[in-house]
């Protein structure tokens, strides 16, 4: 918690701001999702999550730069550096995320993931993967943007871990748009691997306090729309991994959002 004492007023102010935004987001959910949805429920939840994430990024002083066309439907596959990825990607377009079931138990983030319509999977249980693949196919058929982090866990961003293929089955069978993204972060007053990425045995509350102590964070997201990939999900996983690695090694983006 040493970061708190370096910038106590900044951290305290942002925590109070966060508390106010949580109340506002819950009221917004009740009004626009539960009682007066203007669009189908899945879409309403994704739109609500998008607005909530945009406000959260303002609290954290995160500036997002993009390169390439932002997908609006189909499957989006991305590298995974931590919980901030979800806020960044959701702020760009209404999306349905796939997450491990443990996320449900996270304070704040878990609750909002549930309200936002996240699809959860119990890792290591084959029957649950089959159930999730059916739900992913339904979301894709409905025209949703589904976001998958196929590394299966987050990392410090120095490399892209091998992709797991088990959740790619709907894409090999159905004709839906397919895109990849690569997320990168930078900040002037810290180390990305320790201060922004959330991985290993890190604990959520201290990490969030440390993140709130930073003056600003830059997020760079590069997108590429792909043609149809291999019909084998294992070959598709390898192909998508290569595409993300290519984006990671590419030059800095020029467009700003």
Give the whole-angstrom CA distance, residue 256 versus residue 107.
32
* Mean pLDDT confidence for 138-153: 93
Sheet order of strands, 96-100 included:
119-121, 96-100, 145-148, 74-78, 178-186, 217-226, 62-67, 255-256
Q: What is the DSSP letter of 142?
A: T
Asked if residue 50 lies in contact with residue 238, where contact means CB atoms within 8 angstroms, the answer is no
Q: Please tell us whether the domain made up of 2-250 is placed in CATH 3.90.320.
A: no
Is beta strand 217-226 parallel, antiparallel or unpaired with respect to 74-78?
unpaired
Residue 185 backbone class (left: φ over 0; alpha: ψ -120 to 50; beta: rest) = beta
Instruction: Evaluate if residue 252 carries a pLDDT over 70.
Output: no
List, for residues 33-62, the tens digit of each pLDDT value. 998 777 899 999 999 999 999 999 999 999
For residue 67, which of 239, 216, 240, 257 has the smallest C-alpha distance? 257
- Report the predicted TM-score, pTM, of the whole model to 2 decimal places: 0.92
List, for residues 55-85, the tens digit of each pLDDT value. 999 999 999 999 999 999 999 999 999 999 9
Query: Which pairs from 110-113 meet CB under 8 Å and 24+ separation?
Result: 112/25, 112/49, 112/52, 113/86
Rg (CA), the chain: 18
């Amino acid at each position: 918690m040493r970061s708190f004492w370096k910038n106590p007023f900044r951290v305290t102010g942002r925590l109070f701001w966060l508390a106010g935004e949580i109340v506002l987001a819950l009221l917004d959910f009740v009004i626009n999702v539960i009682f007066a949805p203007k669009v189908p429920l899945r879409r309403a939840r994704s739109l609500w999550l998008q607005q909530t994430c945009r406000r959260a990024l303002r609290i954290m002083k995160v500036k997002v730069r993009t390169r390439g066309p932002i997908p609006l439907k189909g499957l989006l596959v991305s590298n995974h550096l931590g919980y901030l990825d979800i806020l960044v990607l959701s702020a760009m377009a209404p999306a349905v995320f796939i997450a491990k079931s443990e996320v449900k138990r996270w304070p704040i983030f878990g609750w909002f993931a549930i309200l936002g319509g996240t699809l959860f999977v119990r890792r290591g249980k084959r029957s649950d993967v089959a159930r999730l693949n059916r739900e992913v196919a339904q979301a894709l058929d409905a025209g949703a943007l589904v976001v998958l982090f196929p590394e299966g866990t987050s990392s410090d961003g120095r490399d892209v871990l091998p992709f797991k293929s088990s959740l790619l089955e709907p894409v090999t069978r159905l004709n839906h748009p397919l895109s990849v993204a690569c997320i990168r972060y930078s900040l002037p007053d810290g180390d990305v691997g320790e201060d922004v990425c959330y991985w290993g045995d890190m604990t959520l509350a201290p990490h969030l306090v440390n993140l709130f102590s930073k003056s600003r964070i830059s997020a760079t997201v590069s997108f590429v729309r792909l043609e149809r990939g291999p019909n084998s999900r294992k070959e598709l996983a390898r192909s998508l991994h290569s595409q993300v690695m290519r984006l990671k090694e590419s030059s800095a983006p020029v467009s700003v959002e």
